[in-house]
Structure 1
Amino acid sequence: MAHIELGTSLPGISGLFQYRPSTAKPLTELAETLLREPNSLTRGERELIATTVSRGNECTFCANSHAAIAAVELGVEDVDDAPRSAKLTALLEIALQVRESGRAVTTKAVEAARAEGASDEEIHDTVLIAAAFCMFNRYVDGLGTAAPEHARSYLPIAKAITEHGYVAAAG
């Protein structure tokens, strides 16, 4: 049960977006920009960054929903089985450091990502996705929203977001 009365049975951020459409709009636009707009990192890779940070923050709703989206985008049954390049692995390390604290990001981690072919833009976007998901995770869990435990529960919304985007799915 959420800490406040949301007036909906929708889980996670979906219920929060229905509760406050005025805040939902910029937040869904941010997710759309970070995770779906054209980028040298694939949508699946960016969703995997969101998943990794959300898992690290123990945010069940965000971890499971973004894992489902990443799996659909990457064409795998289970996101944990998705292949990871050395570049993506290095970027995920940066994301985990951001999850801990912005100041936890090390020059060594950035240099390792560059050594694996990561561009400055990809490093930038990784840090921004990780920081944004720390906010999303705290929003969802700070208000005690419901989160289905079973990964298959997230598949319908994952498919909708993959096909139509975050803004359309929230609207």
Structure 2
Amino acid sequence: MPHIDVGNDQPGIRSLFFYRPETAGPLSELAETLLRAPSSLERWERELIATHVSELNECRYCATTHAAFTSAQLPDGLDLTIIRADLGTAPISDKLKALLAIAAAVQQNGKEVTAELIDRARAVEATDLEIHDTVLIAAAFCMFNRYVDGLATTVPDDPDNYSTRAQALVRDGYLPVVELARAHQAARAL
């Protein structure tokens, strides 16, 4: 049960967006930019970074949600279960492995991102923009995870909840939830 009365039955961060649409807008825009805007990193790669950080933070809602978002966008032949089982031997690029190591360092403490981690990423052709975006995704998901868990939002047990949301995200992105949240708030005000 959430620590505050959010006034809706939405799970996780969605409940907080419905509670306070004024903050939902900027947070959703940040997620849309980081995870879906044009980039040299594929959408699934950026979602995997978000998933990894959420797992490290033990945020069940975000880890499960973004794992579903990752899976829904994986290229044929890749299996998220295999990737998550052991990142070191996962069938992903060395560049993505290096970026995931940077994300894990950010999750611990921004000062854990060392020149060695950056050099390792550059050695496998990570660009400055990819390194920047990895650090920002990791930092943002630390915030999102703490937001979700800090207010004890609900976590659905039904796997269909996550796969349905994943299909909607692939189709529509992160921004439609903001309009839903604003409509919910307007209806509550009546």
Residue-pair matches, total = 171
Of 81-90 and 95-104, the range deviating more from structure 2? 81-90
- From 131, 136, 144, the equivalent of 1:136 is 144
Q: Which residue of 1 aligns with 2:102?
A: 94
Deviation at 1:150, TM superposition (A): 4.7
Letter matched to residue 60 of structure 1? R
Q: CA RMSD in A?
A: 1.4
- From 116, 124, 135, the equivalent of 1:116 is 124
Structure 2 residues without counterparts, runs of 5 or longer: 84-90, 180-190
Q: Which residue of 2 aligns with 1:79?
A: 80
SS of aligned partner of 1:141: helix
Q: Which residue of 2 aligns with 1:17?
A: 17
Question: Quick check: 2:14–2:177 contact (8 Å CA) kept in 1?
Answer: no
| TM-score normalised by length of structure 1 | 0.95
Q: Which residue of 2 aligns with 1:39?
A: 39
Percent of matched pairs sharing the same residue? 55
Q: Which residue of 1 aligns with 2:166?
A: 158
Segments of 4+ moved more than 6 angstroms? none
Deviation at 1:148, TM superposition (A): 1.9
Structure 1 residues without counterparts, runs of 5 or longer: none
| TM-score normalised by length of structure 2 | 0.86
- In structure 2, what is the Cα distance between the partners aligned to 1:75 and 1:28? 25
Structure of higher CA gyration radius: 2
SS of aligned partner of 1:166: coil
Deviation at 1:75, TM superposition (A): 4.1
Letter matched to residue 57 of structure 1? N
Letter matched to residue 53 of structure 1? V
- In structure 1, what is the Cα distance between the partners aligned to 2:53 and 2:115? 20
